[in-house]
Amino acid sequence: MIFLKIIGIIVLFIVIFFMVIILNDIKYKIELTYRQCKINYDVRMSLFLSVISIVAKGTNEDIEVFVKILFFKKKLKTDFKQHRQNKIRIEGDIEGTSFHIVNTIEMISRHKEYLGKFISIIKPKYIKIEGVYGFEDPYITGILSGFIGAIFLLLPAHSIKLNPDFFNKVFDLEVKVEGKTRIIFLIGITLRFLICNAYENIMTKLKAKFKKRSKMGKIKFKSSDEMKFD
């Protein structure tokens, strides 16, 4: 009985601790630079007046993650270091970005309501986004330029300077974001998005299937009428 009570107390403590974390405000600071197919980033999150902090920093080739509680700092083991595989993957993605940019824009446009809610939830107090982008194809670059302009209307106006290059393939980016949010809100909006997206995909497939069957039925009906006429 004593053992079960101890287990129950431990489980209760874990549940309370988890609930406090997801209900408490979390401050975050994100710094990211992308140049010549190399990413450098520094992500910091803190809660309980910085009593607990999580820090992740590194590049696309390596990353270090630390957890800090008061004056105690612990480095976590990660499997993100994959010599040059990440760099090769990113270079390949950039080469084929222009082929998928239109589909990506269409997908985000369909879910712009969730994007607006997500931005309001993360509550960025400071935003700095500067850089140059171009995909050699002026048409694709122009579409992306208009889309970026529309997205920036949802963000606080601090320092946002993204300039399109209509004649060269280039992507240099510097991002700094600071703010605070609550995990419970992020979990809620994420679950709602996943459920609605799954529902839309199912309905799209059902409509396509129904349309295909309807078309096949019309063809069979037309063929039977022609046979009767003959």
pTM confidence score: 0.63
Residue type, 69: I
pLDDT digits (tens, 9 = 90+) for 65-117: 888 887 788 887 766 555 444 444 444 454 455 546 666 677 777 767 777 77
pLDDT digits (tens, 9 = 90+) for 20-74: 777 888 888 999 898 877 888 898 888 877 788 888 888 877 888 888 887 788 8
DSSP for residue 136? S
CA distance 198 to 213: 23
Instruction: Give the alpha-carbon dihedral of 35, 39, 40, 41, to 10 degrees.
Output: 130
CA distance 172 to 35: 5
DSSP H/E element including 155 = none
